[in-house]
Structure 1
């Protein structure tokens, strides 16, 4: 069974469509555990402690198809794992408000891992805007192990940063409790989709 990501109500919304952008910097807490018993996944909380997203994997061996859904159950992104040369994997994200026919449209983002023969890493190239034929790139770079990374844009500016969560007293939580900061005016659904891909690459969920 495929994984599903369920966000709680996201920020403000109009009568026609929810808003997935914020005018201020947002901070999320990610618990790399599913709320489903014996399931794999993660739970994402906002700064007020409300659940915003959940990844519930009912079949721990199923990581080839992920649905990013809004709070009404509408599909925001369908994320598919693909392979080329039967060896190297990459991930395609299809933005949608309904069922996606992935064989009839180009992906809205593509994530492919960078390979280094001298060391193992989780650095990834993210190509966005493929469906508009005006691609531009993000990069996901690992920081101090697989539990920390940052997403940067073409100009080298940090879009989002993921790291182990620390209490105000300086106490560091376990490796399964992370904190993510997202800069203003960024599509949160896209960032969450990339977070899911990073988690899948690193077997965090």
Structure 2
């Protein structure tokens, strides 16, 4: 008998699937109103989209929306003198309720040396670490610019894999279209909140 996947919501269980799911990421071209990302399933149904600072008119800010255009995550890069002197720049993702109150969902440390492709990036959940053995809850390993990286949790489990689509493997790889395989039980909204930040860090579609 097959064992049911353990649902691990970070944003909401609404974004967790009991089975593995493959989603396609398409970068929107930079135009006057900005770039961003569109995330679809294999039938080309929109699941999420990411609006960048060009669309929002606020530098260092991203919004992850659902298929209906509703806010899922508000993501900001922390600024200020302390950040300028720190060896890391920090991004924070928030859920915002109908009254405008913000709840911290995750924080991600962006190394200043992020030009090193294989430099791992650490992610923590909420205001306190969930892991008791490591100083991070999730880690991005591999090369996001090459679309060959993996998000793992502190126990070493694969959460999601960013890669080239099968139909692209015999062709020139396009950075404008790639796939993300999210493993059963893990929160897709959290995964794409992290991917939105990675896209911005590496000066891709969401970078203004």
TM tier, smaller:
0.7 to 0.9
Q: Relative to structure 1, is the Cα distance of residues 73 and 33 closer, same or farther in structure 2, using a 3 angstrom cutoff? A: closer
Q: Deviations over 1:155-177 (max 9, x none)?
A: 11110011222318744541221
Distance 1:62 1:196, change over 3 A: same
Unaligned runs of at least 5 residues, structure 1: 1-16
CA deviation digits over 1:126-185, x for unaligned, max 9? 00132xx45330001233744332100011111001122231874454122111100011
* Inter-CA distance 34–21: structure 2 relative to 1 (3 Å threshold): farther
SS in 2 for 1:135: coil
Task: Say if 2:116 is the partner of 1:153.
Answer: no
**What value does the CA root-mean-square deviation take over the aligned residues?**
3.0
Aligned length: 183
- Describe how 1:47-196 pairs up with structure 2 within 5 A: 47-57=42-52, 59=54, 62-83=58-79, 84-87=82-85, 88-102=88-102, 107-114=104-111, 120-121=116-117, 122-130=119-127, 133=128, 135-136=130-131, 137-143=137-143, 145-167=145-167, 170-196=170-196
Correspondence for 2:14 among 14, 19, 22: 19
Which of residues 8, 17, 35 is equivalent to 1:40?
35
Taking a change above 3 Å as real, the CA distance of residues 70 and 169 of structure 1, as seen in their structure-2 partners, is: closer
Deviation at 1:190, TM superposition (A): 0.8
Q: TM-score, normalised by structure 2?
A: 0.73
Please list the CA deviations of residues 51-104 of structure 1 after superposition, one character each: whole Å capped at 9, or x if unmatched: 2222244727844122223344443211111133425421011123435444xx
In structure 2, how many angstroms separate the alpha carbons of the residues matched to 1:62 and 1:138?
27
Q: Normalising to structure 1: TM-score of the pair?
A: 0.74
Runs of 5+ consecutive residues of structure 2 not aligned to the other structure: 1-11, 132-136
SS of the residue corresponding to residue 40 of structure 1 reads coil
